Structure 1
Amino acid sequence: MKRTIKKVAVIGSGIMGSGIACHFANIGVEVLLLDIVPRELTEVEAKKGLTLESKIVRNRLVNEHLANSLKSKPSPIYSQQFASRITTGNTSDDMAKIATADWIIEVVVERLDIKKMVFEQIEKFRKPGTLVTSNTSGIPIHFMSEGRSEDFQKHFCGTHFFNPARYLKLFEIIPGPQTATEVLDFLTDYGSRFLGKTSVVAKDTPAFIGNRIGIYGIQSLFHLVKEMGLTIEEVDKLTGPVIGRPKSATFRTVDVVGLDTLVHVANGIYENCPTDEQHDLFKLPDFVNKMMENKWLGSKTGQGFYKKVDKDILSLDLDTLEYRPAKKASFATLELTKTIDKPIDRFKVLVKGKDKAGEFYRKSFAGMFAYVSNRIPEISDEVYKIDDAMKAGFGWENGPFEIWDAIGVEKGIEIMKAEGLEPAAWVTEMLASGSSSFYSVKEGATFFYNIPTKSQNKVPGQDAFIILNNIRESKKIWSNSGAIIQDLGDGILNLEFQSKMNTIGGDVLQAINKAIDLSEKEYQGLVIGNQAANFSVGANIGMIFMMAVEQEYDELNMAIKMFQDTMMRVRYSGIPVVVAPHGMTFGGGCEMSLHADKVVAAAETYMGLVEFGVGVIPGGGGSKELAMRASDLFHKNDVELNVLQEYFLTIAMAKVSTSGYEAFDTGLLQKGKDIIVVNKDRQIAEAKKHALLMAEAGYTQPIRRTDVKVLGKQALGMFLVGTDQMEAGKYISEHDKKIANKLAYVMAGGDLSEPTLVSEQYLLDLEREAFLSLCTERKTLERIQFMLTKGKPLRN
């Protein structure tokens, strides 16, 4: 049967329910969000003469929860306009409306008795065949559907979103005793294709997969920190970006999530997993119990493991339970990994460390490896599901079995035994069978060790993706120090940046030109895309700084011209060029997207021309491009200045979109041309598809523009008056004004006496001249140096 999801009903509007509602609205689904009726009036309601029967009162909880969610940062919604897709109501008056829903999601308090009452209500109104799922984080699914009809049980299961629902990719699907196979298949596909998630079918065991392993990891660190006499700053240093984990690492993550949430799940595992070999580890340490008593729950209560006092961050001393100034943590072992770019390549070095850091890694990885090996087949039959859950639910760059592979399976067993631990029997059987790793890559696909068959099987679901890690070497046709060109098949090439933070310097520009040369000679089209954390943070400002400091202005002029010329090649090549941005897409990375034939952006794309932060204007065609886009929108003289001003402010305020959809609002993406992909894993495959479509439709090389309307003195005067007022009001500094005036000169087309049609090259020359003149300014060099050393903009 064909199943489509046009309308979703979400029962329960707390942080999780509102977040789930917003994410369905993100992907264009109509949402009905319901919550209970308040039991009493607020003082404000009473003063207004409202009663408990008033609609505004009856929907107060749901409306407040949704409003708070929409105001929260980071935002749960791609664009505030999408909130109009959500209708609110209450479970007393509006439950009958769920009859029109295709999927009903229960997100009420974690109490079985309350959930069962909600399901009883749902059964009265749902139409047969409607999906019903629970977002429980730990209550066994089989308990919830007891007493429900056959049709209900057939279409019922758990669907566990992780909080925040927009950002964390894990989507655990937990079947009940009677859940139909087609329901599981549909939800797995829908989660991946439409919700942009990593769908993992889990067993109905306590805490499922993600939380079972994740809470084990945190609890083990709670015990290890005391055993080894480490500070919370040291643990966060050791468990953050250095091993491919979020910056919030361990203790800061607990503060953000809430200590009470962690305690609830840990207690659930402790009570419901008596045969777990690490059962005692889930018992809460004394310092956690004391923090719970004190209501030191983290961000929600203003203090947890960390506490902010004015501008200072204080840390909790776990021995005295008193706050003290945070201490900087450093370890010799971590210094050895500074030249290793990829976290996966650091693990071999980390476990060999001779200091406390090395000891910490050996102890923590030994425990984790033993634990995950023993969870098969209890929580999952396959290793990749555990890795997928940890990567998608906890933001790990690599799952535990991938880390074990990186260290070496036999080395992992060695460090386990040194800690008095043993792997599960199937691991030694795997080695005995001739498989020396949990994963292998063959024919461009990832294979995993299948325990029952003792053979390597292909990880399912890869056919919809192009995974660059799997083809990087086998399909490589050219590379240099900054980029690799791969053959994606069907006549389409891919250019993948490999520089630090994917910055764009001379090597990357050389690679772009080489990729276009190859495509024009022997292929049909080009994708510029990668699968790193971010698409590109922009041009290599270190190189610009060195040239400017040495006053090598001719060389700098040539470098900027090469950048501009390369962007124009992206625009005016003989083959379609599709750019696939995601994550941070700043400066030059944004300019590359502006010049593409088509942009296939990930929903989580944070795009902006941020050059003002380092004291310059966009110099790789970005200033030119927005002036040109404004020109294309001019209709009447009274509107022209307003249109140009909007584009000017996009650059002058260094606006960065908080999603791919918001980039349409700032004019950096174009409606009707560029598209958004919700699942980043599908992005390269989708970009390839569009490059091929354009090529097969008969792509024609565009003609360079000579018809760009610029407004000259009319616009320039308006901008200069505006910057004068901003400086007078102390909203901007003198140097900010200088940069803004340079940008104004470029976007106005100079001080021409009347509106004139000019060429793109004319604007590029103005842009390059303005960029170079700003590079001679001491305050610009201070800004660049500050960004290089501190990683944030300087306002001088």
Structure 2
Amino acid sequence: MIRRRIKKVAVLGSGVMGSRIACHFANIGVDVLLLDIVPRELLPAEEAKGLTLESKAVRNRMVNRSLETAVSSNPSPVFSKQAIKRIATGNFDDDMAAIASADWVIEVVVERLDIKKQIFDRVEQYRKPGTLITSNTSGIPIHLMAEGRSDDFRAHFCGTHFFNPPRYLRLLEIIPTAETKPEVVQFLMHYGDKFLGKTTVLCKDTPAFIGNRVGVYSMLALTHLVERLGLTVEEVDKFTGPAMGHPKSATFRTADVVGLDTLVNVANGLAENAKDDEASGVFQLPTYLRQMVEKKWLGEKNGQGFYKKIKDNKGNSEILALDLKTLEYHQQGKVKFATLEATKPVDDIRKRMKVYEQGTDKAGAFFRAMHYPLFEYVSRRVPEITDEFFRIDDAMRAGFGWELGPFEVWDALGVKETLEKIKVEEKRIPGQSGEVAAWVQEMLEGGYDSFYKVDAGIRHYYDIPSKSYKPVPGTEGFIILDNIRAQQTVWKNGGVTITDLGDGILNAEFHTKMNTIGGDVIQGLHKAIDLAEKDFRGLVIGNDGANFSAGANIGMIFMMAVEQDYDELNTAVKTFQDTSMRLRYSAIPVVAAPFALALGGGCEFSMHADFVQLHAETYMGLVEFGVGVIPGGGGSKEFALRASDEFKEGQIEQNVLRDRFLTIGQAKVSTSAAEAFELGYLQAGKYAISMNRSRLLADAKAKAVELAEAGYTQPVPRKDIKVLGKQGLGIVYAGANSMRAGNYISEHDQKISEKLGWVLCGGDLSAPTEVSEQYLLDLEREAFLSLCGERKTLERIQHMLTKGKPLRN
């Protein structure tokens, strides 16, 4: 592979996708030039300022407004506001020559071939030879855009289809032409994976590529199925949500968020360009969907679609659902079926699919009517849209948020066992025969009974040309616990599994609900350290679940507090603290690998690890204020310690303490790994960010090996922590009293704030003093226990347990 460094990217087009693609490159430290068209008319406000069409502010108005809109959107396209400084803006008329300094030019203008070709004419004038040039089109054939271009342009040109929003959706489709250099494709596949954090999927230049071809087929097939099975909007979204391993937004809610016009545009494109597709009839819109588009009921962008948000008589928000027969909105009905209830206790998604398929009610019938035609459909897309079926699964997981791709679901149900069911399914999509592609039957006849298998910890797929299993390419650098757990588990209990990752490194994996921390997890972590100190050389704390950890098991705390069993509660809190301290002061390096939610105790454990290797999308925070307590697992102590380390001569130390206090007092949760550092949860030199979630455990293991080989030595507990005593307490108490007087916080909030201040300041010491970690831990535990004795704290904990959200009382 030719070595390339991407230092600067030019993004041509600043619309919804262009501005957000620019933001994501800035997120990873790349300089970005974002360009768009020059306005043709002045706005009244510009005229009032005396500006002209030649003024720079006017000429860059389009691009600057688009970028501002993107950055102010929620969720944010940037990891940190600092990323925006890497984006320079300009316009096609004045600044196109600047693309000569770019290493990669990405075209993201309107979906019209003639306009794209005009842009490429200008790119040819200024682009330096060898520069990558790609298009983010979602529908226009890539080879048509390459027509008429120079040899060097065509050799370095292909499609790079990001899914919206680019920061959050992991799918990046790479679509080369016959003239794209193989090393360019290889580079983009690798760069997208490692640096952009994407699941890169190699696609053929076919209509809608892979993700939208299968994803839109699946969604539109459901819109037709609704009529045949007599389903409601609420039923479909209940059936196709988390129970099926799909996102909470399911089907119709997703359509509202994306916009029905977007869905219809892709469907129309497929109806026009995929006429040879045996199921092309599915791309013809059902009557109710056509009527919705005619009425401009396009979803969230204009206030109504399959759902409509209104205010009731009391001013409360209410979300109504659409009756697809009458096109009138009504209150949402409850959806309850025995099959759905049967799936709830089944955590293993593959086993849950089998339970779902065997349902005898409407939910089970729907599952079968959805999946059997889907299996036929995807089997027939090979080799049309891809030569390797696993790329379809990759695209559906990364682009549509499915836990399992269609071939993985098929494996879970049994490939052979399902074939006859596919043939006799009555609710078949028009045009489909019930006969899967011939290669599936050939696979089974050859003695291969599944699409995938795991061998020696490596996932393999059935390779059609060679009629044998081959390792899934691109996954060599991944550690997938599901693939190694059976062979490499060294110890486990009800909450933790300890696995040998090789090279002398253990992994401690939580598997409680939401990976909350209770007695089993505490026991498991101590056992992991015992084992690592005796026979290994490092420990990683990580898992492959949906979240790293949602914090301590507050149900357990609630029960002990309600029963006023304070001795037991004191022991539990001290054990939690001791565990955090053992992570810090063990004889082997401990690397935490957080991702997604890392709250409360999950955050505290990470703060006490020797190193934190975290995913870019990590939402880390000490949120204990929300349940009426302060961080009690070492988090409050740790913030006092870190504030002490930040005190500098001539600095107002109370200001440093105030920032730490507010982070906990306002229960701030980072919106990214970068922001976790800005909030003080991470320390410079003691963390690194993995862009690709799939690489996180491997990166964490590599860091543990590095620390061990560097001659890791056991650190010594700190006894030199400077606390401010009464000097700091005065600021804390005055601030809390002022906030209470202004009704910004409740009386109980004030009490919690004062307890936190007491710990951070080291109590009411008469002068700034150096104290030990254990001194602060004792204060922290005392404050935590006293708050657990407060009625309003118990009300908050109970509200969180029953309602799932904080109570302000």
TM-score, normalised via structure 1 length: 0.99
1:763 aligns with 2:772: no
1:633 to 635, 646, 649: 646
Query: Corresponding residue for 1:646?
Result: 659
Query: Corresponding residue for 1:334?
Result: 340
1:27-66 aligned within 5 A: 27-66=28-67
Task: Give CA deviations for 1:230-289 in whole Å, capped at 9, x if unaligned.
Answer: 111111111111122111111111111111111111111111111111110110111221
Task: Give CA deviations for 1:283-319 in whole Å, capped at 9, x if unaligned.
Answer: 0111221121221111111211111113111111111
1:409-448 aligned within 5 A: 409-419=415-425, 421-448=434-461
Q: In structure 2, what is the Cα distance between the partners aligned to 1:46 and 1:531?
A: 57
Query: Corresponding residue for 1:84?
Result: 85
Give the aligned residue type for 2:335. Answer: A
Task: Give CA deviations for 1:426-467 in whole Å, capped at 9, x if unaligned.
Answer: 111111111111000001100001112211111011221111
Query: Corresponding residue for 2:171?
Result: 170
Query: Corresponding residue for 1:383?
Result: 389
**1:637 Cα deviation after fit:** 6.5
- In the alignment, structure 1 segments of 5+ residues that lack a partner are none
**1:638 Cα deviation after fit:** 5.0
Asked if structure 2 preserves the Cα contact closer than 8 Å seen for 1:527 and 1:691, the reply is: yes
1:322 aligns with 2:328: yes
**1:778 Cα deviation after fit:** 1.4
Query: Corresponding residue for 1:277?
Result: 278
Q: SS of the counterpart of 1:92? A: helix
Query: Corresponding residue for 1:400?
Result: 406
Query: Corresponding residue for 1:22?
Result: 23
Query: Corresponding residue for 2:803?
Result: 790
1:391-790 aligned within 5 A: 391-419=397-425, 421-636=434-649, 638-790=651-803
Query: Corresponding residue for 1:10?
Result: 11
Moved more, 315-324 or 88-97: 315-324
Q: SS of the counterpart of 2:597? A: strand
Q: SS of the counterpart of 1:336? A: helix
**1:381 Cα deviation after fit:** 1.1
Moved more, 402-411 or 758-767: 402-411
Q: SS of the counterpart of 1:448? A: strand
Identical counterparts, % of pairs: 65
Query: Corresponding residue for 2:314?
Result: none
Moved more, 646-655 or 733-742: 733-742
Q: In structure 1, what is the Cα distance between the partners aligned to 2:796 and 2:19?
A: 41
Q: In structure 1, what is the Cα distance between the partners aligned to 2:679 and 2:308?
A: 37
Q: In structure 1, what is the Cα distance between the partners aligned to 2:234 and 2:133?
A: 43
Instruction: Give the number of aligned pairs.
Output: 796
**1:415 Cα deviation after fit:** 2.7
Query: Corresponding residue for 1:306?
Result: 307
**1:49 Cα deviation after fit:** 2.1
Q: In structure 2, what is the Cα distance between the partners aligned to 1:742 and 1:18?
A: 45
Query: Corresponding residue for 1:146?
Result: 147
1:354 to 344, 354, 360: 360
Moved more, 776-785 or 336-345: 336-345
Moved more, 67-76 or 308-317: 308-317
Moved more, 500-509 or 292-301: 292-301
Task: Give CA deviations for 1:322-363 in whole Å, capped at 9, x if unaligned.
Answer: 122222222111111221123232000001111100000010
Asked if structure 2 preserves the Cα contact closer than 8 Å seen for 1:539 and 1:588, the reply is: yes
Moved more, 16-25 or 319-328: 319-328
Asked if structure 2 preserves the Cα contact closer than 8 Å seen for 1:483 and 1:497, the reply is: yes
Asked if structure 2 preserves the Cα contact closer than 8 Å seen for 1:341 and 1:500, the reply is: no
> Residues 414 and 778 (structure 1 numbering): CA distance in 2 closer, same or farther, change over 3 Å?
farther
Q: In structure 2, what is the Cα distance between the partners aligned to 1:684 and 1:355?
A: 41
Q: In structure 2, what is the Cα distance between the partners aligned to 1:752 and 1:540?
A: 34
Task: Give CA deviations for 1:616-664 in whole Å, capped at 9, x if unaligned.
Answer: 1111000000011001111146521000110111111000000000011
1:365-384 aligned within 5 A: 365-384=371-390
Asked if structure 2 preserves the Cα contact closer than 8 Å seen for 1:369 and 1:412, the reply is: no
Q: In structure 1, what is the Cα distance between the partners aligned to 2:67 and 2:112?
A: 22
Q: SS of the counterpart of 2:633? A: coil
Q: In structure 1, what is the Cα distance between the partners aligned to 2:50 and 2:348?
A: 63
Q: In structure 2, what is the Cα distance between the partners aligned to 1:37 and 1:255?
A: 32
Q: In structure 2, what is the Cα distance between the partners aligned to 1:201 and 1:338?
A: 35
Moved more, 298-307 or 492-501: 298-307
Asked if structure 2 preserves the Cα contact closer than 8 Å seen for 1:26 and 1:77, the reply is: yes
Q: In structure 2, what is the Cα distance between the partners aligned to 1:141 and 1:238?
A: 36
Q: SS of the counterpart of 2:129? A: coil
Asked if structure 2 preserves the Cα contact closer than 8 Å seen for 1:479 and 1:511, the reply is: yes
Asked if structure 2 preserves the Cα contact closer than 8 Å seen for 1:243 and 1:344, the reply is: no
- In the alignment, structure 2 segments of 5+ residues that lack a partner are 312-316, 427-433
> Residues 227 and 44 (structure 1 numbering): CA distance in 2 closer, same or farther, change over 3 Å?
same
Moved more, 43-52 or 593-602: 43-52
1:204-353 aligned within 5 A: 204-310=205-311, 311-353=317-359
Q: In structure 1, what is the Cα distance between the partners aligned to 2:114 and 2:351?
A: 49
Give the aligned residue type for 2:486. Answer: E
Q: SS of the counterpart of 2:476? A: helix
Q: SS of the counterpart of 1:33? A: strand
Task: Give CA deviations for 1:10-53 in whole Å, capped at 9, x if unaligned.
Answer: 00000100010000000000000000011211121122222111
Q: SS of the counterpart of 2:117? A: helix
Query: Corresponding residue for 1:196?
Result: 197
Q: In structure 1, what is the Cα distance between the partners aligned to 2:184 and 2:387?
A: 20
**1:159 Cα deviation after fit:** 0.3
Q: In structure 1, what is the Cα distance between the partners aligned to 2:787 and 2:226?
A: 50
Q: In structure 1, what is the Cα distance between the partners aligned to 2:296 and 2:367?
A: 31
Asked if structure 2 preserves the Cα contact closer than 8 Å seen for 1:11 and 1:107, the reply is: yes
Q: In structure 2, what is the Cα distance between the partners aligned to 1:368 and 1:548?
A: 52
TM-score, normalised via structure 2 length: 0.97
Give the aligned residue type for 1:266. Answer: A
Give the aligned residue type for 1:448. Answer: Y
